[in-house]
Structure 1
Amino acid sequence: MASTGDSQLFDETFTITTLDHSKYDRVGRIGATSTDSQTVMTLDINSDLYPCAIGETIHCVLATSLALDGSKDDGRGWRDIGRSGHGGEATLADMFDYVCHGKIYKFEDGEDGQTIKAYVSFGGLLMALEGPYKKLTPLRVDYVYLLVKK
C-alpha cells in the first residue's frame, strides 16, 4: 500500500499577490508567490465557488490520488471516489475547500537554467508553476488533482 506522501507531488503555501477578473465573469486569475519565495504560481480559479483576495494565504497540493492511503483511483471518476458526508470513505478532498482534476500538458526550462515551468489545465482553467527543478520534477505525470484551502 502506498503512503499519502507518494501521491502528493507538490505541497506549498502561497500568498496571493495579484488578482485579475477582467476576462471572465466567474473566473479570476491569481498570481501567487510561495512562502519561501522560490515558486511562482498563476492559477485560474472559479471565483464564484472559491473567492480569493490579494494578500490571502492559500495552501495548494497537487496529488495523483484522492485516497488517503495514496492508492490509485482505479479508473473510477474522480467524483465517484466517496464523500464522507455521503456514505463514502473519507478522501484527501474532504480536507480542502476547492478541488479540480486536470492534465499536466507542458514543461519548459526556466530562463536561468535552474528552474522549470509546469503547465496544467483543469478543464480550461489553467495553472502555471515556476520554481526549482527539485520542487517541480515530481510533476512529470499526466493527470493530477489540485486541492486548495485557505
Structure 2
Amino acid sequence: MATGDAQLFEDTFTVTEFDQSKYDRVGRLTANSTDNQTQMTLDVNIELFPVLIGENLQVVLATTLALDGNRDNEERGWRDVRGESTLADMYDYVCHGKIYRFEDGVEGQTLRAYISFGGLLMMLEGPYAKLTPLRVDNTYLLVKK
C-alpha cells in the first residue's frame, strides 16, 4: 500500500444502486461505506469493471501509483512503468482524474468532493475529517472487489 501522504482516502463500500440506462458501456453506481458515514456515486466502464448491486468494493484515492509512495516521475507517463510493480497491480479498476469541486453537504456537517476521470464522474460525501485530504488537484482511483 502507498505510504505517507500518497494515500488520500480508503474505504469499503457496498453497492446499493446501479443505473446503466444512459450509456451502453457506462453505469452509474451508488454505494454506502460499511460504516455508513460516506456515500459514493461513481461512473464505471462496465466492459472493464462490471458491477452488481450488493457487491463490496474497496476504494482508494492516491496521489501516486508508486509502491514506495513517491510522486510519479514527471519525465515519464504514469502508464510507462516497464515491468515495475505498482499499486495498480493490486486493483481491478484504475483511473487517473482531477478533483474539481468541493461543497458543504447536509447541514454543513459533511463535505462533498467531485472528481472527473476523463468524463466519468465520482462524488464522495462524508465527514470533513475523512475527505479533507482530497484537497489536491489530481488523483488515482483504485477499486477492487
**TM-score with structure 2 setting the length:** 0.96
Match for 2:34: what amino acid? T
What code does the residue aligned with 1:77 have? G
Match in the other structure for 1:136: 131
Give per-residue Cα distances to partners, 1:62-99, cap 9 Å, x unaligned: 0000000100102132211x2xxxx5211000000100
Give me the CA root mean square deviation: 0.9
CA distance in 2, matches of 1:41, 1:148: 13
* Correspondence 1:116-131 to 2 at 5 A: 116-131=111-126
| Correspondence 1:71-90 to 2 at 5 A | 71-75=70-74, 76-80=76-80, 82=81, 87-90=82-85
Count of aligned pairs between the two proteins: 143
Partner amino acid, structure 2, of 1:143: N
2:94 match: 99
How many Å apart are 1:8 and its aligned residue?
0.5
Q: What secondary structure, in the 3-state scheme, does the structure 2 residue paired with 1:13 have?
A: strand
* Local SS of the residue matching 2:129: helix
* Residue ranges of structure 2 left out of the alignment (5+ in a row): none
Q: Give unmatched runs, 5+ long, in structure 1.
A: none
Amino acid of the structure 2 residue aligned with 1:89: E
1:79 match: secondary structure: coil
For 1:137 and 1:74, locate their aligned partners in 2 and report how far apart those are by CA, in whole Å: 25
Give the structure-1-normalised TM-score: 0.93
Q: CA deviation at 1:141?
A: 0.1
Take 1:46 and 1:4, find their aligned partners in 2: how far apart are those partners? Answer: 28
CA distance in structure 1 between the partners assigned to 2:69 and 2:89 by the alignment: 14
Partner-residue secondary structure (3-state), 1:93:
helix
Rounded Cα–Cα distance in structure 2 between residues aligned with 1:79 and 1:124: 19
CA distance in 1, matches of 2:35, 2:77: 35
Asked if residue 6 in structure 1 is aligned to residue 5 in structure 2, the reply is: yes
Amino acid at match of 1:50: F
